[in-house]
Amino acid sequence: MSATTTAAQRVIRFGSAEITFTLITRSRRDLSITVQPNLDVVVVAPGDRTIQEIEEKVRHRAPWIIRQQLRFRDLHPLPVPKRFVGGETHPYMGRQYRLRVLASNRNHVSLRRPFLVVEVKGTPTPDRVRQLLCAWFRERANVAIRRQMSRFLETHPSLRSPDTTLRVRRMARRWGSCAPSGTITLNPELVTVSPSCIEYVIAHELCHRKVMNHGPRFERLLSRVMPDWRARRERLNRVQ
């Protein structure tokens, strides 16, 4: 970042909504507002604009900003939260498994078809079951997601980028995101859906390394590397 550029976090209110945005000021003529796929709002403004002028511009564009954030969020809606009690079903790699919770002398999770067995040391509680199961999913997800991404890049080398990094981290609202810095974040809960849906999210975020929006150019690129991406997205959106 050059000496003539500054950045700061700002917040405005629009009705009952609160919009947080990163304000970057630099030598330029026009003000621009961008909503990133990870829901971040970035405002780049000329250095001679006052804070009041900038905030008024953001407030004026607030309806559009909120629509864009909702659109990005709706691309990958997450399943209904689980209660983590015995008898409910939990998906893994596209298949449903019935949760069996056992009091035990160890903490352990195993797959014994058709059951997903969680052994809890001491008295099982939903919170402890959740912790053990989420840790198990994270461990499985780290391996499965990285392996699948590696395989996808082997068959689509045009999407490789030297500054792309992958991290697997739980997100409350999304399956995946791509930051302008080049970091792709994928939700470990992806390991609950089918491999074809995992591959769709991977392809989607890799395409954002080339095009950071969902316009026609992005859709053309995604269609080139994954012609059936709309069908896969529809299957992913039906996950409950």
pLDDT in tens, 40-89: 898 999 988 999 999 999 999 999 999 888 877 766 555 567 889 999 98
Q: Compute CA 186 distance to the chain's CA centroid, rounded to the nearest angstrom.
A: 6
Residue 102's pLDDT band (cuts 50, 70, 90)? very high
Do the strands 32-35 and 17-26 form a parallel or antiparallel pair, or are they unpaired? unpaired
17-30 pLDDT tens trace = 889 999 998 888 88
Comparing 155 with 234, which gets the higher pLDDT?
Answer: 155
Residue 24: exposed, middle, or buried by beta-carbon count in 10 A (0-12, 13-18, 19+)?
A: middle
Beta-bridge partners for 24:
7, 44
3-class SS at 177?
strand
Q: Give CA–CA dist 200/239, Å, rounded.
A: 14
**What's the Cα-to-Cα distance from 162 to each of 15, 93, 158, 159, 182, rounded to whole Å?**
43, 29, 11, 10, 9
* Site of tokens 């859709």: 219
pLDDT of residue 74: 66
Q: Average per-residue pLDDT in the chain? A: 88
For the segment 187-196, the average pLDDT, to the nearest whole number, is 90
Question: What are the structure tokens assigned to 85, written together?
Answer: 């009690």
Instruction: Please state the length of the chain.
Output: 240
pTM: 0.61
Name the one residue in this structure whose structure tokens are 């950071």.
212
Q: What is the pLDDT of residue 3?
A: 36
Residue 77: its pLDDT value, please? 55
State the DSSP H helix or E strand holding residue 28, giving kind and residue range, or none if neither. Answer: none
Distance CA(54)–CA(75), nearest Å, equals 29
* Residues in CB range of 82: below 8 A, 6 or more apart: 88, 90, 130
